[in-house]
Amino acid sequence: MRLCEVAELTQAEVLTGKELLDREVDKGCGADLLSDVLSVVEENFLLITGMVTPQAVRVAEVMNAAAVLIVRGKCPQDPVIAYADEAGIPLLATQKGMFETCGLLYSRGLRPTRFRRVSEYAG
Amino acid sequence: MNAREVARALGLEAVAFPHPEAEVEGGFCSDLLSRAMAEASPGEAWITYQRHLNVVAVAKLKELSMVILARGPEPEPEVAARAEEEGVNLLRSGAGMFELAGRLYTLLSRGPRNR
Amino acid sequence: MSPSTPAKRGRLLYRRTFYVPAGAIADVGAVSTQVRRILRGLGVEPEVVRRVSIICFEGETNIAIFTKGGRITLMVWEDRVELFFSDSGPGIEDLELVRRPGYSTAPDWARELGFGAGMGIPNMEKNADVFVLRSRPGKGTAIRATVWRSRDERKGSGAGTRA
């Protein structure tokens, strides 16, 4: 699925990265808890989050995510958008909630990312 | 569709399951308790990575039909005990939030037609 | 995990220290994104960059949330990348507990910002080839995390980077 299709499907506004909307994403990860994003073992996924803090974008950058889709109509502050722009991470924002957003994208074929298994952590 | 049917369809593991007949009216996802307090509606199944004690309190207060703990460590025994005590359905899955939301959304949206 | 010191070999290519003030929650991730860019600029292997960035992210989160402030030193060697975290306290009481997935003493405000799931130390440990944690309650905590640059010495089960 291309990012422009993600935007269309979720009626999302593109906050930055309009020129990158041809980018393909085939996996999605929904989370507000950023440590769960840090245990994804794949790249180029769509990060779906209700967080509009700078950390959401920085986590996406560190994990080589393809884009960030912000849910629930939240809009990050200008410095966060500017940072995403500079980091080359498209930022999209939808009015829809996390549940509906994940539901729509999943039903259109976006697949879940794989995570590091919790059992692997056993100290 | 009730909580037992949802649990079976999604392959959820029961942590505390005092009211399997509870009707699941929809879904809600958030890891922020404040958001769940503000935005979740009665009868919804709440999918979250959070697994501390306050999750049970929020689910009870908001009259949610069930809490589905997405992949992560096993909740502490006191969380299970509290859920049982408060009559909150608490289940867990090895799947992440995106997958759980996707599958529950699909399940609920085709539910009424397949009745 | 073996707490042994990596054998002294390989040349030091780069070294830099970053400071993380106490409570600098809005800046969390700023060091790890810089570290990632530095490593990419030096041509470090993508999987190594990824692992080191994750370790750094968790480490700077811990320093910002739990400590009185600290610093992170990045060292890039020919054969490995090392991160050294140190802080000025309060230290960790129970080292076994913090290594347990899901154990967290994070305050509610931190959880509401998306932190404090109790996976920080486990995730750092999992992404490092050598992970050494020392803590003195009341004094502070020091962590050294090493990621080998050669595939042979790296952990097999790690974060896969797509080719």
Query: Phi and psi at residue C117, in whole multiples of 5°?
Result: -85, -5
Mean pLDDT of chain C: 87
From the candidates C111, C121, C126, which should be mutated to test the interface with B, based on the most B CB atoms within 10 A? C111
CATH number at residue B53: 3.40.1390.20
pLDDT of residue C158 exceeding 80: no
Give the C-alpha separation, A72 to C20, whole Å: 32
Residue C83: exposed, middle, or buried by beta-carbon count in 10 A (0-12, 13-18, 19+)? buried
SS (H, E, C) chain B: CEHHHHHHHHCCEEEECCCCCCECCEEEECCCHHHHHHHCCCCEEEEECCCCCHHHHHHHHCCCCEEEECCCCCCCHHHHHHHHHHCCCEEECCCCHHHHHHHHHHHHHHCHHHC
Tell me the pairing of strands C80-87 and C140-148. antiparallel
Give the C-alpha separation, A55 to C23, whole Å: 14
What ipTM does the predicted assembly reach? Answer: 0.95
Show which of residues 2-31 on chain A sit within 8 Å of chain C, judged by CB atoms. none
- For chains A and C, CB pairs below 8 A equal 85
- pLDDT, tens digit, 9 for 90 and up, residues C60-104: 999 999 999 999 999 999 999 999 999 998 999 888 888 888 888
Q: What is the pLDDT of residue A119?
A: 67
Inter-chain CB proximity C50 and A63 less than 8 Å: yes
DSSP assignment, residue A98?
A: H
Could you state, in order of their start, the residue ranges of all structural domains in chain C? 22-153
- From the list C28, C18, C33, the residue with the least C-alpha distance to C114 is C28
Give the C-alpha separation, C6 to C146, whole Å: 8
**Mean pLDDT throughout C35-58?**
96
Q: What is the pLDDT of residue B4?
A: 98
- Counting every residue written for chain B, the total comes to 115
Residue C92: exposed, middle, or buried by beta-carbon count in 10 A (0-12, 13-18, 19+)? buried
Nearest CB among C123, C125, C160 relative to A39 is that of C123
CATH topology of domain C22-153: Heat Shock Protein 90 (3.30.565)
**Mean pLDDT throughout C116-120?**
80
Segment among A13-17, B71-75, C50-54 with least mean pLDDT: B71-75
- pLDDT, tens digit, 9 for 90 and up, residues C25-39: 889 999 999 999 999
pLDDT of residue C161 exceeding 50: no
Nearest CA of chain C to the CA of A113: how many Å? 12
**In angstroms, how far apart are the furthest CA atoms of chain A?**
44
Query: Do the beta carbons of residue B55 and residue B62 sit within 8 Å?
Result: no
**Residues in A touching B98 (Cβ below 8 Å):** 28-30, 48, 102, 105-106, 110, 112-113
The set of residues, in sequence order, having a beta carbon less than 8 Å from that of B42 and lying 6+ positions away, is B25, B62, B63, B64
Nearest CA of chain B to the CA of A60: how many Å? 16
pLDDT of residue C156 exceeding 80: no
Give the C-alpha separation, C138 to C140, whole Å: 6
Q: What is the pLDDT of residue C96?
A: 87
CATH topology of domain A3-111: 3.40.1390
* Residues forming beta bridges with residue C136, ordered by sequence position: C140
The set of residues, in sequence order, having a beta carbon less than 8 Å from that of B77 and lying 6+ positions away, is none
Nearest CB among A30, A48, A106 relative to B106 is that of A106
Inter-chain CB proximity B102 and A103 less than 8 Å: yes
Could you state, in order of their start, the residue ranges of all structural domains in chain A? 3-111
Q: Is C120 on the interface with A (CB under 8 A)?
A: yes
Q: Looking at per-residue confidence, does C17 or C118 come out higher? A: C17
Handedness of CA B89, B90, B93, B95 (dihedral sign): positive
pLDDT of residue B88 exceeding 90: yes
B86: containing domain = 3-114
Dihedral of the alpha carbons of A99, B28, A29, C110, in degrees to the nearest 10? 140
pLDDT of residue C151 exceeding 90: no
- Looking at chain A, which residue has its C-alpha nearest residue C49? A62
- pLDDT, tens digit, 9 for 90 and up, residues B50-72: 998 999 999 999 999 999 999 98
- Preceding peptide of B75 cis, ω within 30°: no
Number of domains in chain B: 1
- pLDDT, tens digit, 9 for 90 and up, residues A57-103: 999 999 999 999 999 988 999 999 999 999 999 999 999 999 999 99
**Mean pLDDT throughout C135-139?**
93
Residue C96: exposed, middle, or buried by beta-carbon count in 10 A (0-12, 13-18, 19+)? exposed
Give the C-alpha separation, C134 to A11, whole Å: 50
**Mean pLDDT throughout C123-148?**
95
**In angstroms, how far apart are the furthest CA atoms of chain B?**
40
Q: Is A82 on the interface with C (CB under 8 A)?
A: no
Nearest CB among A107, A110, A113 relative to B105 is that of A107
Which strands, in side-by-side order, build the sheet including C12-20?
A: C12-20, C70-77, C80-87, C140-148, C130-136
Chains contacting B (3 or more CB pairs within 8 Å): A, C
**Residues in C touching A116 (Cβ below 8 Å):** 126, 159
Q: Looking at per-residue confidence, does C155 or A28 come out higher? A: A28
Q: What is the pLDDT of residue C4?
A: 53
